[in-house]
């Protein structure tokens, strides 16, 4: 059994992690934590997630590093704010446990990028080269036995899964335009008037253009410089969960549906959690919300030089908790679908 702890178990993604790990046959949940400090509160296990109603497990307690270590986890999931993950990960690694971080604290290779994109100096820059960027379907053996996994951002997961297979076919110098929409849970449970019911319901807006934190990790993963023509426009959708990304691309040569289908078939033929639709069949949010899957569709425009790719995920699952469990399965050599299928 793999002994697992979750810091941030009382948050949206942490609660999903609890529900997934509770039914994992090779995992024992040894400890769960909310935030520390005077406002922190204990939460009973059964109250963390609706699916845990009748189950038993450790209650979430206010965070303490000593208490975490005392529970002797093999792996600690960090479902915490970026700066908290950056501070905690080196201390946890020192204790001998592995870390799967779903924040952005270890996604960027360059420590110098953190003040600009995340607003803090990175406290553990020596770990950035070691962290495995865990876009599971595009990882090889590097996840096996890894000490530190940086789970990709939710928008990044939806965009990279759709874009990477067709990247070699794209026209150089032509912009890739990614319009993504996310449900409000993407912002976590923190209270902010911008995410309140009366601001969001019946409304729809773009935000964070050119300054969203997921942009540099996507450029890094795609090997694009800071001024390469890649446009990412996130939008806030008045629903609770789900991300739909629509990518507008230009091909170097006119393409056929068969060539695009073959480009997707190659990386995803045997992947349990990425489904690619037939040409022209575009997935919708309801196809994936509540599941650990990504679904991808594509359509060619007349002439075959331009295409539209559509990718959908549940931001709290494939965009966070289920991909973290998929990564843990790879790290510890458990079947990839365990706890998820």
Ligand X SMILES: NC(=O)c1ccc[n+]([C@@H]2O[C@H](COP(=O)([O-])OP(=O)(O)OC[C@H]3O[C@@H](n4cnc5c(N)ncnc54)[C@H](OP(=O)(O)O)[C@@H]3O)[C@@H](O)[C@H]2O)c1
What the block records as the tokens of 126 is 């020596």
Q: Is 154 a catalytic residue?
A: yes
Cβ at position 117, least distance to ligand X in Å: 12
Place of tokens 């700066």: 83
Residues 74 and 54 sit within 8 Å (Cβ to Cβ): no
Q: Is 147 exposed, middle or buried (0-12, 13-18, 19+ CB in 10 A)?
A: middle
Name the site residues for ligand X (rule: CB under 6 A).
7-14, 34-36, 40, 63, 79-82, 84, 102-103, 153-154, 185-186, 188-190, 315-316, 319-320
Contacts for 10 with CB less than 8 Å, ≥ 6 apart: 34, 35, 41, 43, 48, 60
Q: Nearer Cβ to ligand X, position 315 or 326?
A: 315
Q: Which residues contact 226 (CB under 8 A, 6 or more apart)?
A: 216, 219
Query: What span, in angstroms and rounded, lies between the C-alpha atoms of 111 and 115?
Result: 8
| CB nearer ligand X, residue 166 or residue 295 | 295
Which of 12, 106 has the CB closer to ligand X? 12
Q: How far is the CB of 118 from ligand X (least distance, A)?
A: 10
* Residue 127 vs 300, nearer CB to ligand X: 127
Taking the complex as a whole, how short is the minimal distance between the CB of residue 312 and ligand X, in angstroms?
A: 14
Closest residue to ligand X, based on beta-carbon distance: 11
Q: Rounded to the nearest whole angstrom, what is the least distance from the CB of residue 236 to ligand X in the complex?
A: 12
Q: How far apart are CA 238 and CA 205, in angstroms?
A: 9
Give the residue numbers marked as catalytic: 154
């Amino acid at each position: 059994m793999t002994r697992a702890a979750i810091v941030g178990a009382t948050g949206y993604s942490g609660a999903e992690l609890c529900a997934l790990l509770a039914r994992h046959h090779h995992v024992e949940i040894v400890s769960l934590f909310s935030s520390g400090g005077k406002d922190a509160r204990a939460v009973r296990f059964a109250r963390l997630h609706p699916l845990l109603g009748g189950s038993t497990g450790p209650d979430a307690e206010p965070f303490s590093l000593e208490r975490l270590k005392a529970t002797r986890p093999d792996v600690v999931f960090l479902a915490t704010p970026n700066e908290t993950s950056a501070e905690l990960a080196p201390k946890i690694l020192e204790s001998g446990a592995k870390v799967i971080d779903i924040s952005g604290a270890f996604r960027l290779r360059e420590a110098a990028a953190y003040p600009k994109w995340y607003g803090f100096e990175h406290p553990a820059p020596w770990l950035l080269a070691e962290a495995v960027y865990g876009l599971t379907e595009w990882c090889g053996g590097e996840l096996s036995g890894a000490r530190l996994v940086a789970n990709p951002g939710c928008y990044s997961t939806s965009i990279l899964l759709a874009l990477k297979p067709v990247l070699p076919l794209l026209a150089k110098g032509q912009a890739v335009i990614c319009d993504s929409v996310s449900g409000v849970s993407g912002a976590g449970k923190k209270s902010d008037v911008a995410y309140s019911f009366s601001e969001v319901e019946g409304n729809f807006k773009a935000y964070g253009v050119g300054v969203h934190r997921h942009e540099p990790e996507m450029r890094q993963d795609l090997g694009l410089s800071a001024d390469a023509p890649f446009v990412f426009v996130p939008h806030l959708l008045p629903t609770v969960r789900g991300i739909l990304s629509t990518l507008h691309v230009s091909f170097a040569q006119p393409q056929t549906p068969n060539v695009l289908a073959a480009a997707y078939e190659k990386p995803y033929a045997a992947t349990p959690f990425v489904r690619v639709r037939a040409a022209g069949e575009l997935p919708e949010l309801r196809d994936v919300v509540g599941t650990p899957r990504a679904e991808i569709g594509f359509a060619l425009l007349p002439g075959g030089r331009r295409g539209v790719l559509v990718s959908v995920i549940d931001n709290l699952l494939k965009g966070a908790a289920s991909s973290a469990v998929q990564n843990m399965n790879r790290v510890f050599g458990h079947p990839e679908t365990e706890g998820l299928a």
